[in-house]
Structure formats: structure tokens, C-alpha cells
Amino acid sequence: NAGVTQTPKFRILKIGQSMTLQCTQDMNHNYMYWYRQDPGMGLKLIYYSVGAGITDKGEVPNGYNVSRSTTEDFPLRLELAAPSQTSVYFCASSSASGISTDTQYFGPGTRLTVL
Amino acid sequence: GNSVTQMEGPVTLSEEAFLTINCTYTATGYPSLFWYVQYPGEGLQLLLKATKADDKGSNKGFEATYRKETTSFHLEKGSVQVSDSAVYFCALSDQNDYKLSFGAGTTVTVRA
């Protein structure tokens, strides 16, 4: 099993550009998440999804959009990149039980720099 | 709201030394508690978890006990190896939720 995969691994954007970070999982997990990790900080939840067609905002959603058309894929869209969005982005998924004891499985991350 | 406070790093140790990373939390009810580890260049992976008071999670020689009376979940390992060099995150999920709240992470470096 590949688990959670993310592309690209690295990307440099200019201010105002847009891009989509891809995330795919092959574990048939209903729950998927996007986090950002800033230096010296814990992970902050951007958006999450409890199933295809259902998404909701996390702690820091401004400047981002998501969609969930299939169980496997959960892309994150940056429309107008800003330097404040320079970060490492992690996608994660967890099982369909959606309870507090679930383990989340993380992808390897995308390191994004906005200049 | 929920919050997790971790011991600040970085922590540098020699091989075979004892490691402890403090973690305390604030949450309503009975959260589940987790330690995730991030090895260099990789994503986070679950190290251990405990889902109710007095439970002890253990894995790869690491242990942590869920102490409700002190709202703590300290991570310990008796004899660290160079391969334990990583960033360690304490996290919780509220009993009525599945979303995680993370601490800031503690960077551990083990020298041979």
C-alpha cells in the first residue's frame, strides 16, 4: 500500500500565483485533512472532509479552498499565493469510524515557498 | 478550547541516555492522547496512543501514561539511539471529535 501520497514535494511560487496541492490515499478512508506546519509551531488544521462531497473549515482556512469529489483524492487549492502561505503542508487521512481514538496517517508533505 | 503544551526544545542527548518529553493538555471530558514522530524529511507517523485515564501507550521502547489527575502524557525512553533523532509531537482529540490538536513539537537529537 502506498498510504497517503502528496505531490509536488517542493514548489516555489510568486506572489499572486495559484496552485493545487494534490493528495491521494489508498486506504479507503472517509476522513481526510490538510494541515500546515510552520517552523517551531505545531500543525494547524486548514480544511477537513468526512467523505466525498463534504468539506469543512479548520482553524486556518483563509486563502485556501478544497474539494472532495472522490474518496481517494483531497486537493488543496491556493488561489492568490502570499508570503504568509510559505509553509510545509501535510495531508492526512483516518478511518471511517470518525471517533476520537482514530489514528491519522500522514503523507510526506509539500514544502511551499512564496516569494 | 483544547490545547497541548509541550516541553520546548531542542533536546540533545548522547546515545543510551534517558529521554523524557513533557506534555500537558487542556480539554473537556476525556480526550484521547497521542504521540506522533516526524523523522527528517518525512511526514508524521503515530508513535503511541492512550485512550483513557491510566492507560499506558508503548512502542519502539517509548512509553507514555495518560494521567488525568495531572492532565499529562509525558513521553519516556530509557535508552535512546541515534535513530531516535526526530521531532516529537504530542496531540489530543476531544472525546466528541476526531480532529487533532497538536503541541508545537520537540526536536530531539541523539549523538553517538
A40: nearest CA in chain B? Answer: B104
Share of chain B above pLDDT 70, in %: 100
B5: nearest CA in chain A? Answer: A42
Q: Give me the pLDDT at residue A97, please.
A: 67
| Euclidean distance between CA atoms A99 and A95, whole angstroms | 9
Interface of B with A (CB under 8 A): 4, 31-32, 34, 36, 41-46, 49, 51, 89, 91, 93-105
Q: Give me the pLDDT at residue B55, please.
A: 94
Query: Which residue did the predictor score with more confidence, B9 or B62?
Result: B62
- Of residues B45, B46, B94, nearest to A100 (C-beta): B94
Which residue, among B7, B44, B52, would best test binding to A if mutated, counting the most A CBs under 10 Å from its CB? B44
| Euclidean distance between CA atoms B106 and B12, whole angstroms | 11
Q: Give me the pLDDT at residue A14, please.
A: 97
A9: nearest CA in chain B? Answer: B41
Taking the CA of residue B61 and the nearest CA in chain A, the distance in Å comes to: 19
A6: nearest CA in chain B? Answer: B43
Which residue, among A55, A87, A104, A105, would best test binding to B if mutated, counting the most B CBs under 10 Å from its CB? A104
| Euclidean distance between CA atoms A7 and B85, whole angstroms | 26
pLDDT tens profile A61-98: 999 999 999 999 999 999 899 999 999 999 999 986 66
pLDDT tens profile A10-61: 999 999 999 999 999 999 999 999 999 998 788 999 999 999 999 999 999 9
pLDDT of A100 over the 70 cut: no
pLDDT tens profile B95-111: 777 789 999 999 999 99
List Cβ neighbours of B1 (8 Å cut-off, separation of 6 or more). Answer: B26, B101
- Of residues B34, B43, B99, nearest to A48 (C-beta): B99
pLDDT tens profile B57-71: 999 999 999 999 999
| Euclidean distance between CA atoms A39 and B28, whole angstroms | 28
